[in-house]
Amino acid sequence: MHIFVLFVCQVKVLYVRNLKTDVTEAMLRAAFEAHGVVEKVKKVKDYGFVHFADRESALAALDALNGTVILSSYYYECLSVDFMYDSNVE
C-alpha cells in the first residue's frame, strides 16, 4: 500500500474553514467535542484546527459538522470541515 494512503488513514486533525472573527476556540471545542475527545483546538483568523484523540471521533465530527451552521454574533456561517494532511507526503 502506498505510504500516503497509510498516512491519511491515521490523520486525527480536522481543518475548519469559514470561521468568523467572533467564533472562539471555546465555541469550536464545544461544537466538536460532542463527537469525541478533543485534545487541542487552534483558531487562526478565519480557519482553525481541531485535534481529536482518535480518528473515529474525527470522522464522526466531520460527517456531523461539515456543511452545518455555527452561530456567530452577527449571522450564521456554514462550516467547511476536512481532514488536515500534508500533500507532500509520499
pLDDT tens column, 29-85:
999 999 999 999 999 988 999 999 998 999 999 888 888 877 654 445 567 766 665
Structure confidence by residue, pLDDT tens digits, 3-31: 444 444 577 899 898 888 888 899 889 99
> What strand order describes the sheet that includes 38-44?
38-44, 47-52, 13-17, 80-83
pTM of structure: 0.76
Q: What is the pLDDT of residue 5?
A: 43
Annotate 6-64 with DSSP letters as a single string. HHHTT--EEEEE---TT--HHHHHHHHGGGS-EEEEEEETTEEEEEESSHHHHHHHHHH
Give residue 54's pLDDT: 92
Q: What amino acid occupies position 66?
A: N
